[in-house]
Amino acid sequence: MSKYKRILLKLSGESLAGENSFGIDVLHLENYVSQIKKIAQQGVQIGIVIGGGNIFRGLSGSKKGFDRVKGDYMGMFATIINGLALQSAFEAAGQKALLLTAFNTMPAAEQYSKQRAVRAMEKGEIVILSGGTGSPFFTTDTGASLRAIEIEADILLKGTRVDGVYSADPEKDKSATKYSQITFDQIYKKGLKIMDLTAFTMCKENDMPVYVFDMDTVGNLEKVINGEAIGTLVCNEKQI
């Protein structure tokens, strides 16, 4: 039995590269599609925001001499490329998917509106929300937070390569301890990094819980949807 009716799933662009450092690994893409399609078949309404770091990251581009605004738009287009790949993979797997972008990219995709997104999800389509917020100086984490709040998702699921939030980087500090749940205020006081401050603040102020989990392990998404405590819940104290 699914714990959530509607979710916003945030995926990193780098995750699509698989073991590669760049581009899209088809097997990794198909793995994600298979997991997401499975929970869609349970009746869960799904919105997806995916980053573009496997193709281009605006902030890192500005450090190499690109104009920041142009670099951010390049990053937004990278998320749209990943969105098109996801949409194509879903359709190949027999799952209807709609790609919506934050700004006009017709005829490649329709422009985002809450009404269009919700209507599609209610019909059982997976909705891919690309192009970030449509404005420079905002990350895809902020885009995910914004869309989760707009579509009235029950929760923002942040799929990463780590199985939750730790007291320190577990890849660098073997003594780091994992939290099963933690409040936004505690995250802030401890200086832990789960998303950028703008995205973090939006979720806190709008009571949008965030669940951080390892998406790369097959079956984990379904476990989260069914209420298994395999990651870390981040929320306001009143929601615990």
Q: According to the model, what pLDDT value does residue 19 have?
A: 81
Please give the single-letter amino acid code of residue 74.
M
- Per run of 10 residues, the mean pLDDT along the chain (length 240 residues) is 94 87 90 96 97 80 76 94 97 98 96 98 98 95 98 97 91 91 95 92 97 95 96 94
pLDDT value of position 61: 57
Any domain includes 140:
yes
The pLDDT of residue 193: 87
Question: How many Å from the N-terminal Cα to the C-terminal Cα in the chain?
Answer: 21
The residue segments making up the domain with residue 175 are: 6-239
Has residue 1 been placed in a domain? no
Can you tell me the distance from the alpha carbon of 38 to that of 61, in angstroms, rounded to the nearest whole number?
36
**Residue 132 carries which side chain, given as an amino acid letter?**
G
Tell me what pLDDT residue 15 has: 86
Q: How confident is the model at residue 165, as a pLDDT?
A: 96
- Is residue 186 in some structural domain? yes
Q: Has residue 63 been placed in a domain?
A: yes
Q: Confirm whether 16 is domain-assigned.
A: yes
Q: Is beta strand 178-179 parallel, antiparallel or unpaired with respect to 165-166?
A: antiparallel
150 inside domain: yes
pLDDT for residue 83: 97
- Residue 58 pLDDT: 60
Q: Considering the domain boundaries, does residue 80 fall inside one?
A: yes
Domain count, the chain: 1
Domain CATH for 92: 3.40.1160.10
